[in-house]
Structure 1
Amino acid sequence: MDNKACVSKGKVCVTGASGFVASWLIKRLLQSGYHVVGTVRDPRNEKKVVHLWELEGAKERLELVEADLSKEGSFDNALIGCEGVFHTASPVIGIQSDPKAEILDPAIKGTLNVLKSCKNNPNIRRVVLTSSSSTVRVREDSDQDKMLDETCWSSIELCQRLQIWYPLAKVLAEKAAWKFAAENNMDLVTVLPSFVVGPCLPRDLSLTASDVLGLFKGEAERFSWHGRMGYVHIDDVARCHILVYENADAKGRYLCSSSVINNDELAGLLAKRYPSFPIPMSFKQLYRKLNYKFDTSKLQNLGFNFRGIEEMFDESVQSLKEQGYLSEN
Structure 2
Amino acid sequence: MEPFKGRVCVTGASGFLASWLIKRLLLSGYYVIGTVRDTGNDTKLAHLWRLEGAKERLTLMRADLMEDGSFDDAVKGCAGVFHTASPVLSRPVSDPKAEILRPAIEGTLNVLRSCKKNPSLRRVVLTSSSSAVRARDDFDPNVPLEESCWSSVELCERFQIWYALSKTLAEKAAWEFCEESKIDLVTVLPSFVVGPSLSPDLCTTASDVLGLLQGKTERFEWHGRMGYVHVDDVALCHVLVYEHKDAHGRFLCSSVVLDNNELVSMLSARYPTLSIPKRFKALDRPYYELNVSKLTSIGFKFRSVEEMFDDCVASLMAQGHLSPV
Quick check: TM above 0.5?
yes
2:180 equivalent to 1:183: yes
What is the CA–CA distance in structure 2 between the aligned matches of 1:172 and 1:89, rounded to whole Å?
A: 15
2:54 equivalent to 1:61: no
2:236 equivalent to 1:257: no
Deviations for 1:83-118, whole angstroms, at most 9, x for unmatched residues?
100000002413200000110011100000000000
Equivalence for 2:236: 239
Amino acid in the other structure paired with 2:321:
Y
2:35 equivalent to 1:25: no
The alpha-carbon deviation at position 202 of structure 1 amounts to: 1.2
What is the CA–CA distance in structure 1 between the aligned matches of 2:109 and 2:78, rounded to whole Å?
A: 18
Q: 1:16-165 maps to which residues of 2 (within 5 A)?
A: 16-93=12-89, 94-142=91-139, 144-165=141-162
Amino acid in the other structure paired with 2:220:
F
Deviations for 1:22-81, whole angstroms, at most 9, x for unmatched residues?
000000000000000000000110111110000000000000000000011000001122
Aligned length: 324
What is the CA–CA distance in structure 2 between the aligned matches of 1:245 and 1:143, rounded to whole Å?
A: 32
What is the CA–CA distance in structure 1 between the aligned matches of 2:102 and 2:140, rounded to whole Å?
A: 30
The alpha-carbon deviation at position 14 of structure 1 amounts to: 0.1
**SS of alignment partner, residue 209 of structure 1:** helix
Deviations for 1:154-174, whole angstroms, at most 9, x for unmatched residues?
111111111110000000000
2:245 to 244, 248, 254: 248
Amino acid in the other structure paired with 2:79:
E
What is the CA–CA distance in structure 1 between the aligned matches of 2:276 and 2:92, rounded to whole Å?
A: 25
What is the CA–CA distance in structure 2 between the aligned matches of 1:43 and 1:191, rounded to whole Å?
A: 27
**SS of alignment partner, residue 147 of structure 1:** coil
Deviations for 1:177-234, whole angstroms, at most 9, x for unmatched residues?
0000110111000000000000001121011110110011000112101110000000
What is the CA–CA distance in structure 1 between the aligned matches of 2:57 and 2:317, rounded to whole Å?
A: 30
Contact 1:267 1:280 in 2 (8 A): yes
Deviations for 1:112-147, whole angstroms, at most 9, x for unmatched residues?
000000000011110000000000011103573441
How does the TM-score come out when normalised to structure 2? 0.98
Q: 1:323 to 1:143 in 2, by over 3 A?
A: farther
Contact 2:77 2:119 in 1 (8 A): no
Q: 1:311 to 1:222 in 2, by over 3 A?
A: same
**SS of alignment partner, residue 294 of structure 1:** coil
Contact 1:47 1:203 in 2 (8 A): no
What is the CA–CA distance in structure 1 between the aligned matches of 2:249 and 2:64, rounded to whole Å?
A: 27
Contact 2:20 2:231 in 1 (8 A): yes
Equivalence for 1:316: 312
Q: 1:158 to 1:241 in 2, by over 3 A?
A: same
RMSD: 1.2
What is the CA–CA distance in structure 2 between the aligned matches of 1:36 and 1:189, rounded to whole Å?
A: 19
Q: 1:249 to 1:143 in 2, by over 3 A?
A: closer
Unmatched runs of 5 consecutive residues or more in structure 1: none
Contact 1:103 1:169 in 2 (8 A): yes
**SS of alignment partner, residue 71 of structure 1:** coil
**SS of alignment partner, residue 252 of structure 2:** strand
Contact 1:220 1:282 in 2 (8 A): no
Amino acid in the other structure paired with 1:307:
R
What is the CA–CA distance in structure 1 between the aligned matches of 2:57 and 2:252, rounded to whole Å?
A: 30
Unmatched runs of 5 consecutive residues or more in structure 2: none
Contact 2:88 2:163 in 1 (8 A): no
The alpha-carbon deviation at position 278 of structure 1 amounts to: 1.1
The alpha-carbon deviation at position 260 of structure 1 amounts to: 0.2
What is the CA–CA distance in structure 2 between the aligned matches of 1:176 and 1:243, rounded to whole Å?
A: 24
**SS of alignment partner, residue 107 of structure 2:** helix
Contact 1:142 1:291 in 2 (8 A): no
**SS of alignment partner, residue 258 of structure 2:** strand
Equivalence for 1:290: 286
Contact 2:27 2:52 in 1 (8 A): yes
